Amino acid sequence: MKAEEIFSKALETLRGGGTILYPTDTVWGLGCDATNPEAVARIYGIKRRADSKSLVLLASDLDMVAKYIKEVPSIAIDLVEVNDAPMTIVYPGAIAGAQGADGDRWHLAWNCVAQDGSVGIRIPLATWCRNLCFKLGRPLVSTSANISGEATPQRFSEIPQEIKDAVDFVVPPSVDTESSGRASQIIKLGLRGEVEIIRK
């Protein structure tokens, strides 16, 4: 498949409520539309992971983030502007619930948000991932392509066949040009400027 066809197929799968295996700017990930609770439930099932654990999401830019967060802390803007390495920000006050929108506010699937109402979102450095989020118009789930409790695959060849067989579309490894193979930094923010570094 040509690059354009691969991108179109991935987008079509996501829009149809399907799941994909794709390269992110960190490691290979399992993805779906983060506003679709049924698709998110499938991701948990593929990973054999309890849905009490939240999932990291990818967004195209801060404008997209703002649609799903009650208030984006000002420090988040500074962090994103100076960021030159993969960085996941855990935001307070995720807007979650049934699929749909209230005015210009969209809902994340309830099952991709932490019990405290926070959600981890990364604006990927990889152009391919950012474009996929942008064209979808909604954030993507991005969780490592492994069974829960097992090692995170660093390369496509390390991904279990069980995972590859379970998703609706596998992005060919030829697209994997920007994955670092390393996990992102994680920073948790509070509405009053609190900053907690969870993973460096």
The amino acid sitting at 94 is A
pLDDT of residue 81: 83
Q: Per-residue pLDDT for 101 more than 70? A: no
Domain boundaries, the chain: 3-199
pLDDT at residue 183 in the model: 72
Give 56-89 pLDDT, tens digit per residue: 999 999 999 999 999 888 888 888 888 778 889 9
d(CA 168, CA 1): 16
Q: Judge whether residue 40 has pLDDT over 80.
A: yes
The pLDDT of residue 41? 94
Residue 94, helix vs strand vs coil: strand
pLDDT over 60 (residue 163) = yes
Strand partners, 140: 33, 58
Choose the CATH number for 3-199 among 1.20.1250.20, 3.90.870.10, 3.40.430.10, 3.40.50.300: 3.90.870.10
Query: Taking the model in full, what pTM does it have?
Result: 0.89
Structure tokens at 4: 């354009």
Average pLDDT of the chain is: 87
Q: Are 198 and 188 in contact (CB under 8 A)?
A: yes
User: How do beta strands 87-91 and 119-122 pair?
Assistant: antiparallel
Q: For 147-151, what is the mean pLDDT?
A: 90
